[in-house]
Homo-oligomer: A and B are copies of this chain.
Amino acid sequence: MAVTIKKVAELAGVSTATVSRVINNETGIRQLTRDKVLKAIASSGYRVNTIARSLKTNRTGIIGLITPEIANDFFMNIARSIEEYLKGFGYSLIICNTNESTVEEIHRAELLVEKCVDGVIVIPSSNSGSHFSILKDAGIPVVLADRLTSDFNTDAVVVDNQKGVYMAVSYLISRDHNRIAFIGGSPELSNARERYEGYLQALKEYKLAKDNKLVLIGNFHVDSGFKLMKQLMELPDPPDQVFIANNFMHMGAIKYLIANGYNPDSSPRIGSFDDLELSSILGYASVTVAQPVKGIGSKAAELLLNRIEGDKTVPFRTIRLQTDLKITRMR
């Protein structure tokens, strides 16, 4: 049995209430008493039992993160910055993997309610988020990150996907007014939709017609990028430029190009979303839309803590962070 507050109280010759006050750094305690208690704590090796504390205070200091995938560089960079931010405020993070499944999202939300977490950050795996009302109903604030849902109103942090893509595609077009293809993700995801809109916007701006053969929609995974790039390159008349809407598809696309003997100079000119370590290593992309990954995480955490510790009545906000255009090779 671990040392409890009671034991410490005995040791220090005070009441448990006094010990509690010292632990919580309350004022109005004689210095002598405080010292006695502190000494008893040190000598006994006492450590708070946060479970007992939580039962009383209704706060656990635990935040849940519901993410479509754990082993994913992008999501985990978000997770990392969430964790970093929360740490400064004494919160811990329970990470829940949903495998991009709505059913799992429901299970995990229920679990987090039972764990009495103080708040939840969700990276939704689809356009629908109404099931997260399980959390809201239990009085647990929710913040969406990276993606929005169409049917669940709450705080959210996303990037300005459309503008990011618009700028990158505009850049490409400005270099070569010619056939520019688009490899995108499922319209189930708000960010995939927005990126597609950015592409369309740029075409329109430059008065280029959309060529349906050059617009390929897949699913944000490596395999999909591979397949779609293959499909493009096997056209009778392959495009001169390709914009790829996500880093995994980018990886897959490059995989295809390398495997088929294209080097950065002989391949179509490439633009891509996301700017992780990888792009710079692969070296095929000419322009890249860099996301403020850390910003997404820390801002989401910030919004969440505001709901938890601050004013709960302010209207929900959707924060849109700006992306950064990176010219990675002059070509």
Q: Interface digits, A54-92 against B, CB 8 Å rule (1 contact, 0 not)?
A: 110000101000000111110011011001100000001
A259 touches B283 (CB 8 A): yes
A111 touches B92 (CB 8 A): yes
Tell me if A13 is interfacial: C-beta within 8 Å of chain B.
no
A251 touches B277 (CB 8 A): yes
Interface residues of A in 246-291 (CB under 8 A from B): 251, 254-255, 258-259, 263, 277-278, 280-283
A94 touches B97 (CB 8 A): no
CA distance in complex: A70, B87 (Å)? 14
B92 touches A93 (CB 8 A): no
Report B-chain residues with C-beta under 8 Å of the C-beta of A138: 2, 47
A47 touches B110 (CB 8 A): yes
A84 touches B71 (CB 8 A): no
Q: Which of B94, B110, B259, B281 interacts with A93 by CB under 8 Å?
A: B94
Report B-chain residues with C-beta under 8 Å of the C-beta of A115: 50-51, 62, 92
Tell me if A234 is interfacial: C-beta within 8 Å of chain B.
no
For the complex formed, measure the closest distance between the CB of A111 and the CB atoms of chain B, giving whole angstroms. 7
A116 touches B49 (CB 8 A): yes
B97 touches A95 (CB 8 A): no
Which residue of chain B lies nearest to A259 when distances are taken between CB atoms in the complex?
B283
Interface size on A, residues (CB 8 A): 51
A51 touches B47 (CB 8 A): no
B80 touches A97 (CB 8 A): yes
The main secondary structure of chain A at its interface with chain B is helix
Q: Interface digits, A206-249 against B, CB 8 Å rule (1 contact, 0 not)?
A: 00000000000000001000000000000000000000000000
Q: Interface digits, A1-17 against B, CB 8 Å rule (1 contact, 0 not)?
A: 01000000000000000
Report B-chain residues with C-beta under 8 Å of the C-beta of A72: 76
Report B-chain residues with C-beta under 8 Å of the C-beta of A97: 80, 83-84
Tell me if A48 is interfacial: C-beta within 8 Å of chain B.
yes
Task: State whether A50 and B116 are in contact (beta carbons under 8 Å apart), knowing that A71-B73, A92-B96, A92-B111 are contacts in the complex.
Answer: yes
Interface residues of A in 111-136 (CB under 8 A from B): 111, 113-116
Q: Which of B51, B55, B69, B92 interacts with A60 by CB under 8 Å?
A: B51
A222 touches B92 (CB 8 A): no
Q: A47-B138, A51-B116 are in contact. List 4 more A-B contacts (CB 8 A).
A: A48-B114, A70-B79, A79-B95, A92-B96
A-B contact pairs, 13 of them (CB 8 A): A2-B139, A45-B137, A48-B114, A49-B116, A51-B51, A51-B55, A51-B60, A70-B76, A76-B76, A80-B97, A93-B95, A94-B95, A251-B277
